[in-house]
Amino acid sequence: MPEEIAPNWFRMRIPLPDTPLKELNSYLITGNERNLLIDTGLNRPECLQAMQCELQELKVDLSKTDLFITHLHADHLGLASRLACTGRRVYLNSFDADIVRNWVGFDPMLEYAQACGFPAEQLRTALDRHPGFKFRSEQVPETTPLTEDAVLTCAGYHLHCLHTPGHTPGHLCLYEPGRKILVSGDHILGDITPNIQCWSNEQNPLQDYLASLDKLAGFEVEQVLPGHRELLRDIRTRIRQLQKHHAQRLDEVLDCLARNEATPYQVAAAMTWDLDCDSWDDFPVTQQWFATGEAVAHLRFLEEKGQVKRSENDNLFFFSLA
């Protein structure tokens, strides 16, 4: 059942089976001439069916519906090519659109993960079970690139694009100043923390993420519409909690390295995770993958700050306190 959260603005819950995220929040704004659909779901039958049901209930004509995708991940972009028909636009930020366009496959990421100490024999399984890989769209729709300050108009709403890198390099939030509504995508979530992963020495996504949080703290927001889980109202408190979470994570990483030098995989195994498993070895391999990516993001942040240093031995990265 679509839920009306503001006049002509609906939230639709799209199930994401077998993921800890549980559901995607897709949003639909219905206008006189055109509608705007924000984020879509994974490219799998359960998502498509749920989406079609919701759209039918709202009597939406897809040929008059443009799509806005907050970021490139498959739970947001995956269904876009299935819903897209001629004459409509699929808006995606230009950074993520470049990544999608220049995609060379997962090999560089797998190679990097191996250098981070991820067990080589597990790499293929990690990838094969990765929902982003399994349920990606087989065909990427042509996208209309958007950057900071672009404004989309629909049903009298003015949706300002805010570049909020961190979760992905180009992640965009939408801000509606009249109603003080923020579509936060996966930049701000309520009861779970957005996953900040890094798989390259050139990036520092945690620094980007923290800067993007600071940026949003300056906006007057009365309603936050996140990409997953429940909607929230108090953005400032949530921003403070997320900042504190990462500060604690960084301390945890430093503590771990105070005992011994370690690979990012070993650091991830030593960090605390909110998962129902007795030990690191019991973690599903996909969760180990996400955890290792998070550990790298925190290590890269500390490396740029000069608090940790890296050595390379036998194609493996080892981090220690600087």
Q: Is 139 helix (H, G, I), strand (E, B) or coil?
A: coil
| β partners of residue 234 | none
- The nearer residue to Zn ion, 23 or 75, going by C-beta atoms, is 75
Distance (Å, whole) CA 162 – CA 173: 5
To the nearest whole angstrom, how small is the minimum distance from the Cβ of residue 228 to Zn ion?
6
Token pair of 243, please?
A: 């900042």
| β partners of residue 3 | 11
To the nearest whole angstrom, how small is the minimum distance from the Cβ of residue 165 to Zn ion?
15
Among 75, 96, 176, 294, binds Zn ion (CB under 5 A): 75
To the nearest whole angstrom, how small is the minimum distance from the Cβ of residue 271 to Zn ion?
21
Contact region with Zn ion (CB under 5 A), list: 112-120, 147-155, 223-231, 275-283: 223-231
- The nearer residue to Zn ion, 15 or 31, going by C-beta atoms, is 15
- The nearer residue to Zn ion, 189 or 256, going by C-beta atoms, is 189
Subset of residues 10 to 49 that bind Zn ion, contact rule: CB under 5 A: none
The count of other CB atoms within 10 Å of the CB of residue 219 is: 15
- The nearer residue to Zn ion, 187 or 246, going by C-beta atoms, is 187
- The nearer residue to Zn ion, 187 or 298, going by C-beta atoms, is 187
- The nearer residue to Zn ion, 23 or 186, going by C-beta atoms, is 186
Pairing of strands 35-38, 23-30: antiparallel
Sheet holding 151-154, edge to edge: 151-154, 157-163, 172-176, 181-185, 223-226
To the nearest whole angstrom, how small is the minimum distance from the Cβ of residue 306 to Zn ion?
33
Among 227, 246, 262, 298, binds Zn ion (CB under 5 A): 227
Distance (Å, whole) CA 167 – CA 284: 22
The H or E element spanning position 55 is helix 45-57
To the nearest whole angstrom, how small is the minimum distance from the Cβ of residue 177 to Zn ion?
25
Contact region with Zn ion (CB under 5 A), list: 70-78, 248-256, 262-270, 299-307: 70-78
To the nearest whole angstrom, how small is the minimum distance from the Cβ of residue 135 to Zn ion?
12
**Does 186 contact Zn ion by CB under 5 A?**
yes
- The nearer residue to Zn ion, 34 or 187, going by C-beta atoms, is 187
The count of other CB atoms within 10 Å of the CB of residue 123 is: 18
To the nearest whole angstrom, how small is the minimum distance from the Cβ of residue 229 to Zn ion?
10
Within 8 A by CB and 6+ apart from 203, the residues are: 169, 300
To the nearest whole angstrom, how small is the minimum distance from the Cβ of residue 186 to Zn ion?
4
Q: Is 148 helix (H, G, I), strand (E, B) or coil?
A: coil
Residues in binding contact with Zn ion, number by CB under 5 A: 3
- The nearer residue to Zn ion, 23 or 176, going by C-beta atoms, is 23
Q: State CA 97 to chain mean position distance.
A: 14
Q: Please identify which residue in the block is written with the tokens 């890296």.
A: 310
**Does 96 contact Zn ion by CB under 5 A?**
no
For residues 36 and 64, the answer to whether their CB atoms sit within 8 Å is no
Q: Is 196 helix (H, G, I), strand (E, B) or coil?
A: coil
Q: Report the interface residues with Zn ion, using CB under 5 A.
A: 75, 186, 227
